[in-house]
Structure 1
Amino acid sequence: MTPPPDISPAAAPRTLIYGLGRSGRGVLRFLARESVSADWYDARPSAEDLDLAAQFGFAPADLGHAYRTVIAAPGVPIDHPDLLNLAARGAEIIGEAELAARARPKLPMVGITGTAGKGSTTVLVAALLRACGVNALEGGNIDPPLLDIVDAAEVAVVELSSFQLERVTGFAPAVAVITNLAVDHLDRHGSVEAYHAAKRNITRAQTEADWLVVPPDLNLPTRARVLHFDPAQLRLSDGQTVLPLSDLPEGLHPANAAAALLAAEGMLRHLGKTVDPAQLAAGLLAARPVPGRFETVARLGQLKFVNDSIATRTVAVEAALQQAAAPIAWLIGGRDKGADLAPLRRAAEGKVKQVIAFGQDGEQLAHQLGLPYQVVAFGELSGEATMQAVVRLAAECLLAGEPPGGTVLLAPIGTSFDLYRDYAERGAVFTAAARAWVSAHATPSEVPV
Structure 2
Amino acid sequence: MTGEQDVGEGSGGNGSLLIYGLGRSGRGVARFLSSEGTRAQWHDARPSAEDLALMDKLHYGRGDVGGTYATVVAAPGVPIDHPDLESLRGRGAEIIGEVMLAARLRLALPIVGVTGTAGKGGTTVLIASLLRACGVRAREGGNIDPPLLDVVDTAAVAVAELSSFQLERVPGLRLPVAVITNLGVDHLDRHRTVAAYHAAKLNITAGQQEGDVLIVPEGLEISTRAEILAFSPARLVLNSGEEVLTAAELPDAIHPANAAAALLAAEAMLIRLGRPVQTEVLAAALRAAQPQRGRFETVAQVSGVRFIDDSIATRTIAVQAALERARPPIAWLVGGRDKGAELGPLREAARGRVKTVIAFGEDGEKLARELGLPFVTVSGADGDETMRAAARAGLKALGTEGTVLLAPIGTSFDQFRDYAQRGDSFRRAALALAQPAREEDA
Does residue 413 (structure 1) correspond to residue 415 (structure 2)? The answer is no
| DSSP-derived class of the 1:13 partner | coil
Q: Which letter maps to 2:430?
A: A
Matching residue of 2:429: 433
Separation in 2, partners of 1:369, 1:118: 27
How many angstroms apart in 2 are the aligned matches of 1:251 and 1:157?
A: 21
Inter-partner Cα distance in structure 1 for 2:177 and 2:14: 33
Q: For 2:166 and 2:12, how far apart are their aligned partners in 1?
A: 28
CA–CA separation in structure 2 for the residues paired with 1:213 and 1:242: 17
Q: TM-score, normalised by structure 1?
A: 0.95
Report whether the alignment pairs 1:300 with 2:302: yes
Give the SS at the match of 1:319: helix
**Deviant stretches of 4+, over 6 Å:** 8-12
Q: Distance in 1 between matches of 2:157 and 2:12?
A: 31
CA shift, 1:445, in A, is: 2.9
Please give the alpha-carbon distance, in whole angstroms, between the structure 2 residues aligned to 1:314 and 1:390: 21
Q: Kindly state the Cα deviation for residue 208 of structure 1 after the two structures are TM-superposed.
A: 1.2
CA-to-partner distance for each residue in 1:361-398, whole Å, 9 max, x for gaps? 1111111111111111x4x5322222111111111221
C-alpha distance after superposition, 1:263-293 (max 9, x if no partner): 1111111111101111111111121100000
CA shift, 1:46, in A, is: 1.1
8 Å contact 1:8–1:36 — kept in the other structure? Answer: no
Instruction: Report the counterpart of residue 21 of structure 2 in structure 1.
Output: 19
**Which secondary structure does the structure 2 equivalent of 1:389 belong to?**
helix
Aligned residue type for 1:13: G
Q: Distance in 1 between matches of 2:26 and 2:12?
A: 21
The residue aligned with 1:201 is 203
Change in 2 beyond 3 A, CA 1:69/1:228: same
How many equivalent pairs are there?
438
Of 75, 85, 89, 2:87 maps to 85
Structure 2 partner of 1:234? 236
Match of 2:216 among 214, 228, 251: 214
Deviations 1:134-192 (A, max 9, x none): 00000111111111111110000001010010011221111100111111111111110
| Contact 2:12/2:64, CA 8 A, preserved across alignment | no
Measure, in 1, the Cα distance between the counterparts of 2:65 and 2:393. 55
1:265 match:
267
Q: Structure 1 residues 306-315 or 279-288, which shifts more?
A: 279-288
Q: Which residue of 2 aligns with 1:224?
A: 226
Say if 2:10 and 2:16, in contact at 8 Å, map to a contact too. no
CA displacement at 1:440 relative to structure 2? 2.0
Query: Would the aligned equivalents of 2:7 and 2:71 in 1 still touch at CA under 8 Å?
Result: yes
Question: 1:101 maps to which residue?
Answer: 103
Deviation at 1:418, TM superposition (A): 1.6
AA in 2 matched with 1:307: D
The residue type equivalent to 2:431 in the other structure is R
Mapped pair 1:321 → 2:317: no
Q: Return 5+ residue gaps in structure 2 as ranges.
A: none
AA at the equivalent of 2:334: I
Unaligned stretches of 5+ in structure 1? none
1:105 is paired with a residue of what secondary structure? coil
> Is the counterpart of residue 49 in structure 1 residue 45 in structure 2?
no
CA distance in 2, matches of 1:367, 1:358: 12
Aligned residue runs from structure 1 range 30-429, under 5 A: 30-376=32-378, 378=379, 381-399=381-399, 404-429=400-425
Structure 2 residue matching 1:431: 3-state secondary structure: helix
Q: Which amino acid aligns with 1:322?
A: E
Aligned amino acid, residue 384 of structure 1? D
Q: Partner letter of residue 98 of structure 1? A: M
State the identity as a percent.
61
Retained in 1: the 8 A contact 2:359–2:365? yes
Report how far residue 8 of structure 1 moved.
10
Q: Distance in 2 between matches of 1:12 and 1:240?
A: 58
Any conservation in 1 of the 2:12–2:67 contact (CA below 8 Å)? no
